[in-house]
Structure formats: structure tokens, C-alpha cells
Amino acid sequence: MYLTFIPSVISFLISLLHELSNTWVGKFSFSPLENMASLCTFPRISSTEPIKQTPAAAPFPPSNQPMRPSALSLRQSSSKHRRISTVVAAIGDVSADGTTYLIAGAVAVALVGTAFPILFSRKDLWIFIFAGKGEIYRTVAKILGTLCSRKQKKDNEVARISSLCGASNCPQLFSDSNIPGKKRKMRDYCIAFNSSNHKFLKSLFPFFLCTLFSVFQNLILCSSQNPALLLPLKTQVIPPESIRRSPDKLPFRHNVSLTVSLTVGTPPQNVTMVIDTGSELSWLHCNRSQNSSSSSSSTFNPAGSSSYTPIPCSSSTCTDRTRDFPIPASCDSNHLCHATLSYADASSSEGTLATDTFYIGNSGISNVVFGCMDSIFSSNNEEDSKNTGLMGMNRGSLSFVSQMGFPKFSYCISEYDFSGLLLLGDANFSWLAPLNYTPLIEMSTPLPYFDRVAYTVQLEGIKVSHKLLPIPESVFEPDHTGAGQTMVDSGTQFTFLLGPAYTALRDEFLNRTAGSFRVFEDSNFVFQGAMDLCYRVPMNQTRLPPLPSVTLVFRGAEMTVTGDRILYRVPGEIRGNDSIHCFTFGNSDLLGVEAFVIGHLHQQNVWMEFDLKKSRIGLAEIRCDLAGQKLGMGLPYKNLSFHVLFIQLKISDLQLKKMAFDSLKATFCFAFSVSLLCLLPSTANAGITRHYKFHVQLQNVTRLCQTKTVVTVNGQFPGPRIIAREGDRLLIKVVNRVQNNISLHWHGVRQMRSGWADGPAYVTQCPIQTGQSYVYNFTVNGQRGTLFWHAHISWLRSTVYGPIIILPRTHQPYPFPRPLKEVPIIFGEWWKADTEAVINQAMQTGGAPNISDAFTFNGLPGPSYNCSAQDTFKLKVKPGKSYLLRLINAALNDELFFSIADHTLTVVEADAVYVKPFKTNVVLITPGQTMNVLLHTKSNAPNATFLIAARPYATAPAAFDNTTVTGLLEYESTKSLLKKNIKLPLHKPVLPRFNDTSFSIKFNGKIRSLANSQFPAKVPTRVDRRFFFTVGLGLLPCRRNRSCQGPNNTRLSASINNVTFVQPNTALLQAHFFNKSNGVYTTDFPANPPFKFNYTGSPPKNSMVSSGTKVVVLPYNAAVELVMQDTSIVTAESHPLHLHGFNFFVVGQGIGNFDPNKDPAKFNLADPAERNTVGVPSGGWVAIRFVADNPGAWFMHCHLEVHTSWGLKMAWIVQDGKRPNQKLPPPPSDLPKC
């Protein structure tokens, strides 16, 4: 067996000659790395030598007692490469069948490691990794030690060859006894390791882990080429009250971050914090256990600090200074100030506001307000667990710089070694070039999309190799909603530009690199969700061809990006012999971020000064590594008057994606990385877990000249956007902070075997009560497209709703041409009155509720309503391009026609299912339906604007909101004319009559499934159960001693098969799962109406309906055919029926009464539309088929909320199948109780 590794060894050694520029670092799946890493640490080595021009190795950080820092150095956690001349090491993924490659890698290391000390003798730090068993291995190891130490005068100056038989021996590697003398020059030693007392493979793994973590965690401290950059602080106190307060807000975060270490508390505890200029409140991850250790930098123990003081909710700090937080502070059960921070990458944290002492320099600043967070909800737990918290550095009153009283701070991030320095305070340096200043933009009026305390500057243009791109100035100016600001953010890695600017830059960069680079042609590969310009680079290519520079032109200053900061090597993406490099500018439109964001990758080697007093940012290009040396920060530290704060390199996700080899001495490390990475499994199609946190809270919203308090999620109206990929798992924690009970429904998500997360109140769950929370846990399987979420109790969904965007799996393209941009447009309704009061009054009187006052696009009513010209949805487009409009009808009670003047729409998807494309000028979409349409703009931009309009389709002879919501479609070339107040012709669309049922029938008949090999239409051809449901309005008798507003003093109701549904007092799913249905529901829901009549003709004499909580029970995997027939008992009307838990096929529809003898012959069983919501035509019928393959209790109801309130709803219970994967799992532990 051992002979099989010989070809691999040869292959690896050959590949070394071609791959001396890159290695990768991954993670072992079989070992608790954090525990191993904690054992492999260096003890501190002191030094008293004077500072030399060529610094020696850095002294080691203390292993036991915390140090009180007087200087800060900044360490960047990044996947970008490091220039290391002394040593490079790599580890990779290992699978169970990797014996051959492990042996091959070990032999390769032994061969190269043995030969190179003879060939090269420069005095640099070499760390040789060697493993084996038996005398021959020990002999080779001793020879290695002798070869490496030949320049030393004494044998005892050679580091001891340690056996590393277990993790417990690891700390002995670099003990003081192993490195004699005060003048310990680590770069002069060659350290050989040998595992000698165990079987080969058994000893290899702990040896390898322990050694490599020692190397990586301390590499920066051992290398003479990588000194820590340090700077003393200057403290100038200014009253915190002089700095404006504003909410904590972070546009979005990435896994790559800048970190700084300091100490907090009494006695001081070491903490590591992410530096974030996009956030206000600083916070620490707290572990309140009395027995928790304070030595770990991953948590802060408030119980171990005598100066820690929680802030009561009655404090002015809690009531006043947090007033502008997006999620206002609240009072917890202990009457302490409770804060919740939520970020756009779905991470969040919550806990208690407190004060404690933060140590900066040799002095401690007491009573610093921060968040002591007990609950951390992270989108990347593995990465964030390495940090204790976040240091908010924006301009808010509770930010770190404001509380510390610093009128100015600066940082400088080195390009190559990812270290940096952070200067808090003011200083002048003669060697620093004059700074170019750009003013910070002030905004006194609150706007929905403008962060007033972010570091906002005015971006005025973009250059590519000194050519200024022809981008209109208006692209860089925030609009009337505040969207479009330019923020400088250290919490973001890359730079993101709004669509028009990004497209212009992308096109120019493509032209400049044509012929020099090979574009990676994969229409659906979008790195980081926003970076779609990537290149294929041969892996044996050590240098990239020259790249054009990109210059961001600010008002008064410029920032030029060159070299390696232009392209980023995507980790793990290899195509044949090519690696993938992506353009480091992304399209913020694809992330749903309404702003330009300047990330810290493009701030490297730029002195960044944030002057809060003069409200400006200064920039100057400089080599940040040389800046540290200019400041006297060479190592070792001998006569400095302050203590040293050491920052260790933090490897994001345990992956150092790119490292550079500066000499051939590093080749032995590459052998290990290649041998292990050969076994790296492909995870391209594996879904990830995405975390979201929804706080249901009250928010003041002004529409139609009137402000009212509405229920929202995270203070947003409409609510936040959920973005996922097919196969992803979603964990959405919903916290109820209003007096109403709440539940949320993820409309259209199949919820396969996850019915507990479906959301309708009293069907799958009891509602979430005030002050309680619930985590909706489900996986998006076999679906991609546009869906939405909304409240599913009473009429709260009038303001509690938002989009769900499910992208295809990575590398799976759309079955239609890729659009330039994707734009969600959510239709809604707006009432001036409280919608809960509206429906409560209607239910009490038995009459119809008051109609809405306006319709909205993305929450904006538009210029057709009074006081709404500034609240207008605008779609800005370029000529000759395609845009994907994701249409969602979240209105409560109205089906809507939608059109854009003089433009044709191509329907490509309905209810998150691809359809055969067809063109139309008008779209009809019912409440609960979604539809994706392609908008193809005109090839030449006309000097005109075009109305986007929607108005109701209403078939009942009753009052309805007969208004029209409008938005504007504007071509970019007309912006300059509009800016000059030049009036352009306004084109208006032509919409069908409000009761045009013939259009409805024809339009819905055009919707057909793709029904191809990739997206088949799996229509049930057999039928196990047939049902015929009548749906429509009815009447109930008025309650005794009441006067009712229905016909003839009756109450209006609605029913299915003459049964109006009565809401139970406990959830149907719980009653079913625990076999406690008695008194909750009955299983006698009729399969057919109680009697036959002319359903669409004259109503029967008896129009009264019955009431009850009745369900239909289906066996698992039953094929169901359901015909739904509209009735004219009160009036004929269209009814959009929504089925939870399933998609169904619309196999037939027609006007009049369904004929069971003739109509089934016309059913479309080849390519019918696959939907989750279908409109039963007014005075007609619709037939659907589905397979009951999802165990649970599933709601079916009319999505006109008024009809649902009147009882037009029922439920299906699908029994478990025989196999384990056909059964409903038990409920989660946090399922709300009634």
C-alpha cells in the first residue's frame, strides 16, 4: 500500500516549481481546533537591547497575566496574501480516505526540508515540520537540527527536538529553557520537530495540528519582517454631549474584519474587538457565569469586574441617548436597559447596557457605556467567536470615539502583512504627506435610507487609468429618500457601488483588460452576491499582468486602487488548472444596499484621518508598514516608555486563502497543503445556514399628510428583505415587542416536514405573545424565485410584510437572459386609520370594513395621491437593457392590474416557478401571488418619463378603493434635464376596466410551466381523492339584541362548502401531533357542497351558512384533485385561494358552473401552471391537483383578508408516511404556547 504514494510525491515536488506564490489554509473537520490552538502558545520573552535599524524578532505576548496597553495596533483578519520571507506553513482539509496523500505529503516535507538547509544558509527563521516513527526518523531529525544550528556556537542554543506525542508537550517547544540567552534571535534558529513514540498516523494528526497552530498564531511575532505597528495615544477630552446622537446602524458586514485588542474591567480582562466605523454602540460578548475564566478573549465576564455597572432602564442614558436606535432600548425583567442590535447580514446581538472601565494606554477611562451582550446571533459563528465584540466608531454620541473624547482618529492598514496602526487623538508627523480632505456630508432631516452619523462623503466620479468615466453626477447624489449616500466603512471588506456606477466601471475595466485576462464565463457566478466580473488565471502564473488602476474621486480628494487590490482570488474556486480572481468592486444593488460603501481593502496603504471636530476625512497614500517604522515602532522594544500591546494574526474561518512565497525555502510547506487539499470535498451546491432576527415593534410612518404608529419589523416599512439560495437553511428569530400577538408566515415556502415554522396563528402555532420570541427554522428545498413573508394574524399584515428572494444554487443560471438589475416591487395598501380598528369594527357590526385610502409601491403611494409627490417609487434604467422586476402583491383586499407606459413586460416566473416566457403590456396579480417579469428598455433613451401604475381588479358590486398608485420610470440620460426643471412628456399606461374578467381568464391561461428536462412539471396523473368546494360569501344571523349591517339585519360571512371556519383556541398542528383533537377540530369537512344548486345563477332561498372548525384528513402521498367553484349567493366575486405547504398545478379553469362530465377532458396535464395561490374566477371555477407529500396541518384560505376574516378558510391534515423521512418531527422547544 505504501508504494502507492510514490507517484504522488513526484507530482507534488514538480508542482512546487509552479506554485511558489500561493498556499491555502483550511480547517480540520475532526479536531477541536480552538482547544488545540489555546495549548500552542508562546511564553513572553523580554528584551533590553536598544532599538536597531533592522529590528529583531518581536517579543512574545504574555501567556498568563493581562497587560494594560498604552498603544494600539490594528490587525486585519483577511484572506488576502501576506509577504513572509521567513516561513510559510499550510494546512488543509483531511478526509477519512487520505492516508496515501498524508504519507506522500510527509515524505515530500522530509525530502525538501532535509535538502534545503544544505543549499541555503541565510539567517532566517525556518520551521521544519517532520513526522515519523522509529530510529531512522529520529536520526534524520537530529541531522536536521545539526544542519540548522551550524552557525551557532553552542549546541544548547539549538531548539530542543520535541516528540510532540500529544498536545500537552506542545507548549514546551518554545519554553525559555529551549531558547537560551538574553539575545534570543529566533530567526537564527532552525527548529525541527519529530513525533517518535506513537504509530505513524496516530501521531501525525496531533503533531501537525499543534505545530501549525503555533506557527500561525505566532508567525507575526517570530518573523523579523513583520513587526507589530504601534502608536502611543494622545487623549484630549471633549464633552460627549457636544457630539450628535444617532442610531446604531451597519449597512452590512463581511467575515473579514479589522480587530484591535485592549483590556476592560477591574481587574483588566483581555478583549478583541472588531473596529467598525459603520456602527455606534460598542459591545462585548458577555459570559455571566461566576466560574467563567476572564483570561479568554472570546468573552467578557462582568462578574469578574468590580467596576462593571449595569444601566437601569430609568436612566437617561437608556431613555434618551438610545432614542434614535433603529430598535429602541427597552426594559428587561430586571428593570435593566435592554439593547438589541441588528445588522443587514442577519447577525444580531442583544443584552444589557452597562458601564465599565476601558484601558487605553496607561490610563483607564471609566463609565464607558457599552452593550454586555448575552445573546449573539451570528451569520458566521465560527468567525465571530474569535472576537469578544465590536467597537463602534461612527459619529453617534455612544460611539467609542465620542465617549473617549477624541476629536480625531486615524488608521493605516498595511497591504502586505495585514497589520496596521490605530491612532486615537491628534498628531502631526513631518514624514506624512499633506492630507487631502473631503468634507463629511451632514443631513439634518431624517430620511429613511440615510445614515446621518455614518462617515458620509461625496463621491463625484470614477477614473480608470486616469480616464474619467461618463457617469452622470446625479448617480452619486442621494435621492429624496436618502438612498445613494457614500459611506467609508471599516466593517466592510470590498467596495460596493450602486448599479449605474458599477456597470460603467465594470464595462470600462472589461475593455481595458481584454486580451490580457480571460473572463470567467459563468452567468450565475456572483461572488459575495455582488461581484460578477471574474477572471480565470492559470495557477502556475506567479504574477498577474499589469492591471488598470481605479480612482475614486471624492470632493477634494482621491483614492487610487492599484495592483493586488484590484483583483481578489476566490478561495476554493478552481476551474481545471485555473484559479478564479474577481474584481474587488461589487454591485450594491444586488445586495439590496441603497448606498455606495468604501471597504477597507481599498483603504490599504492610505492614511485615513477622521476629523470629527472639523467634519472631514483626510487621505494620503503611504506605505503603512514603513509608517510604523517611521514612528519608531521597530522591534524589539527596549527603551519605549509604554507597554507593548501585541495583536495576533486572526485567520478568517481558519482560512488564510493567499500567502506569498518570497524564497524557495517555503516549498516544504506547499507539499503539505497540496497533499491535504487534494482531498477537499466540493461544497459548491451545499446550502448554508442564514440567520435573521426580526423585532416586531412600533414605528411612526407618515403617508398622505398624516403620521400614524404602525406595527413593523425592525422599524422598517416595508420590512427587511430575506435573501437565500436554494438549499439554504433559514433561522429567523422573531421577537414580539408590541402589545399585539404576532405570527409570521413565509408565503409560498413549501416547509417540507417543517410545518412548525409555517406561521398561521392557531393552525401551526399559537401566536407569539408580547415579550416572547420564536425561531422559525426551515430549509428552502427545490424552490427558487420570488416569494414574500407577512404577518398571519388579524390584519397586521397591512404593514408587516417583506420580500423573500431565493436565488438559484451557485452556478445554476436563470432559464432566461440575465438581467442588468433585479428590482423587487411590493404592492401594498394604506389606511389612514388603524387597520386593527377597521376590521374589529366590521366584525362587531357584521358589515363590510372601510376600504383603504391608497395603494403603494414599496410603501410609497406616489404622485396621484395628495401630499405624496415626494413619496414616489422611481425606477431608473439605462437604454437597451433588461431588468428583472420581482412583483409581489401584499395588498390586503385587492387584485391589481400592473403596467408600465409604452413598455412591454415578459413574464418568466409565477409564484417562484419558472414559466414559458410570454409578452404582455399588463400583468394581473392577486393578493398572495408573486410574478417575475423582464422589462426591456428602449434602445435609445427618449426624452420622456413613463408612469408605472397599478389599480384594482374588482368584480363584486361593492365599494372598493378605486384609486391608482403610480411610480416613475426614468432613463438615466434624462436626469440632467429633470435636474434643470425641464418638464418632459409623461406617458401613461392603458389599464383594463376594473371588472375585466375576460382579461383575467386570458392572462392566467397564458401562464404555463416550462415542463422541460431541467424543470419538469410533475403533474399527478392519478387521482386518489376528489373534492368539489364551493367558495363564496354567505350570511349569518345577527347576534341577539344586536343590530347588524348585513343584508336584512344579518352578518356578512364567507364559507367553503357552506362551512365558515371558526378559529380554535389552540393550534391545529399541536392538537394533531399530540392526538388531542377532541374539542379542537373535527374531521368531517364535506368533500362536496351540502346540496347542489345553480352556483353562478340565482342564489338559493337559504343563504345561511354553518360554522365549525372542520378539517380534511389525507393519507400521506395521496394525489388530490380539487375543483373550486365561485358562487353568487351574495354576489359573484373572484377569490384568490392560497394553499399552505404545497405547490399545486392549475389543470383547468372556466366561466360558469363546472361540468364534471365534460370539463375534465379539457384539463392540461402537460404544462399547467404550478402555483401556491390561484384566483377562482368571478362566476367561474378552477381545478388544481397536488400530492399530499408533506405531513402536517395546512391552512387553505382566501387571500382577500376581509374574506378570511369572515371565515373563507379551512385546513388539511396530512398524516405521516411509513418512513422516517415521511413523518413530522416533534415541535421545537420554543414553540409559543396559547
* Cβ neighbours around 823 below 10 Å, total: 18
* pLDDT > 80? residue 42: no
Whether the CB-CB separation of 346 and 733 falls below 8 Å is answered with no
Residue 447, pLDDT score: 75
Specify the higher pLDDT residue, 180 or 603.
603
* pLDDT > 70? residue 590: yes
- How far, in Å, CA of 302 to CA of 265, rounded? 8
* Residue 76: band (very low, low, confident or very high) from pLDDT cuts 50, 70, 90: very low
- Mean pLDDT, the chain, rounded, equals 76
* pLDDT > 60? residue 512: yes
Specify the higher pLDDT residue, 1107 or 220.
1107
* pLDDT > 60? residue 161: no
Residue 479, pLDDT score: 80
Residue 1144, pLDDT score: 98
Report which residue type is found at 803. Answer: P
Residue 515, pLDDT score: 86
Q: Helices (DSSP H) in 597-708: which residue ranges?
A: 624-630, 667-677
- How far, in Å, CA of 167 to CA of 1052, rounded? 76
Residue 802: helix, strand or coil by DSSP? strand
Residue 1004, pLDDT score: 95
User: Nearest-CA neighbor of 852 among 928, 791, 798, 789?
Assistant: 798
Whether the CB-CB separation of 300 and 389 falls below 8 Å is answered with yes
Residue 248, pLDDT score: 24
* pLDDT > 90? residue 653: no
Whether the CB-CB separation of 749 and 804 falls below 8 Å is answered with yes
Residue 660, pLDDT score: 30
Q: Residue 1191 has what DSSP assignment? A: -
Give the tens place of pLDDT for each residue, 463-476.
999 899 999 988 99
Cell 408600465 locates to: 900
* Cβ neighbours around 1045 below 10 Å, total: 15
Whether the CB-CB separation of 1041 and 1210 falls below 8 Å is answered with no
Residue 718, pLDDT score: 95
Least confident of 41-45, 279-283, 754-758: 41-45
Specify the higher pLDDT residue, 1146 or 220.
1146
* Residue 77: band (very low, low, confident or very high) from pLDDT cuts 50, 70, 90: very low
* pLDDT > 50? residue 1191: yes
- How far, in Å, CA of 440 to CA of 485, rounded? 11
Sort strands 801-807 and 785-791 into parallel, antiparallel or unpaired.
antiparallel
Q: In this prediction, what percent of the chain has a pLDDT beyond 90?
A: 50
Report which residue type is found at 1105. Answer: V
What's the longest Cα–Cα distance across the chain? 114
Residue 299, pLDDT score: 87
- How far, in Å, CA of 1095 to CA of 48, rounded? 99
* pLDDT > 60? residue 445: yes
Residue 803: helix, strand or coil by DSSP? strand
Q: Helix, strand, coil % (nearest 5) of the chain?
A: 20, 30, 50
Mean pLDDT of 758-770: 97
- How far, in Å, CA of 715 to CA of 699, rounded? 6
Least confident of 65-69, 358-362, 831-835: 65-69
Report which residue type is found at 804. Answer: I
> How many residues are given for the chain?
1234
What is the DSSP track for 99-152?
HHHHHHHHHHHHHHHHHHHHH---S--EEE-----HHHHHHHHHHHHHHHTTT-
Cell 534558529 locates to: 189
Q: Tell me the three cell numbers of residue 574.
A: 478552481
Least confident of 195-204, 359-368, 382-391, 1027-1036: 195-204
Residue 492, pLDDT score: 84
Residue 979: helix, strand or coil by DSSP? helix
Give the tens place of pLDDT for each residue, 1041-1082.
888 888 888 999 999 999 999 999 999 999 999 999 999 999
Mean pLDDT of 189-193: 29
* pLDDT > 50? residue 119: no
Give the tens place of pLDDT for each residue, 797-812.
999 999 999 999 877 8
**Would you say the pTM of this structure is higher than 0.85?**
no
Q: Compute CA distances 298 → 5, 66, 273, 352, 1103, whole Å.
A: 41, 14, 9, 18, 68
What is the DSSP track for 889-950?
E--SS-EEEEEETT--EEEEEETTEEEEEEEESEEEE-TT-EEEEEEE--SS--S-EEEEEE
Residue 419, pLDDT score: 65
Domains of the chain: 2-66+79-228+665-677 (no CATH), 240-394 (2.40.70.10), 436-575+594-611 (2.40.70.10), 685-814 (2.60.40.420), 816-1009 (2.60.40.420), 1025-1222 (2.60.40.420)
What is the DSSP track for 199-210?
-HHHHHHHHHHH
Angle, CA of 154, 160 and 165, to the nearest 5°: 170
Torsion angle, alpha carbons of 1067, 1072, 1073, 1078, to 10: 90
Choose from 45-54, 59-68, 87-96, 667-676 the range with maximum mean pLDDT. 667-676
Q: Helices (DSSP H) in 442-498: which residue ranges?
A: none
Residue 292, pLDDT score: 52
Give the tens place of pLDDT for each residue, 881-927.
999 999 999 999 999 999 999 999 999 999 999 999 999 999 999 99
Mean pLDDT of 760-775: 96
User: What are the start-end ranges of the E strands in 506-650?
Assistant: 518-519, 534-538, 550-554, 557-561, 567-575, 578-583, 585-587, 595-598, 606-611, 616-621
Q: Compute CA distances 205 → 165, 594, 1018, whole Å.
A: 10, 48, 49
Whether the CB-CB separation of 483 and 594 falls below 8 Å is answered with yes
Residue 53, pLDDT score: 31
* Residue 375: band (very low, low, confident or very high) from pLDDT cuts 50, 70, 90: confident
- How far, in Å, CA of 2 to CA of 866, rounded? 83
What is the DSSP track for 1044-1102?
--STTSEEEEEEETTEEE---SS-HHHHHHTT--TTT-BS---SS-SS---TTSSPPS-
* Residue 3: band (very low, low, confident or very high) from pLDDT cuts 50, 70, 90: very low
Q: On the CB side of 889, how many CA atoms lie within 13 Å of its CA?
A: 30
> Secondary structure of 1018-1054 in the HEC alphabet?
CCCCCCCEEEEEEEEEEEEECCCCCCCCCCCCEEEEE
Q: Tell me the three cell numbers of residue 296.
A: 479568554
* Cβ neighbours around 1148 below 10 Å, total: 21
* pLDDT > 50? residue 125: no
- How far, in Å, CA of 111 to CA of 478, rounded? 62
Give the tens place of pLDDT for each residue, 274-310.
888 888 999 999 987 665 554 455 789 999 999 999 9
Least confident of 26-30, 677-681, 1001-1005: 26-30
- How far, in Å, CA of 890 to CA of 801, rounded? 7
Mean pLDDT of 328-350: 77
Residue 138, pLDDT score: 45
Give the tens place of pLDDT for each residue, 1075-1122.
999 999 999 999 999 988 999 987 776 667 889 999 999 999 999 999
Specify the higher pLDDT residue, 430 or 496.
496
> Among positive and negative, which fits the CA dihedral 650, 651, 656, 661?
positive
Residue 117, pLDDT score: 38
* Residue 325: band (very low, low, confident or very high) from pLDDT cuts 50, 70, 90: confident
Residue 856, pLDDT score: 98
Residue 343, pLDDT score: 65
* Residue 977: band (very low, low, confident or very high) from pLDDT cuts 50, 70, 90: low
Specify the higher pLDDT residue, 67 or 270.
270
* Residue 122: band (very low, low, confident or very high) from pLDDT cuts 50, 70, 90: very low
Residue 1232, pLDDT score: 95
- How far, in Å, CA of 92 to CA of 29, rounded? 10
Mean pLDDT of 970-981: 69
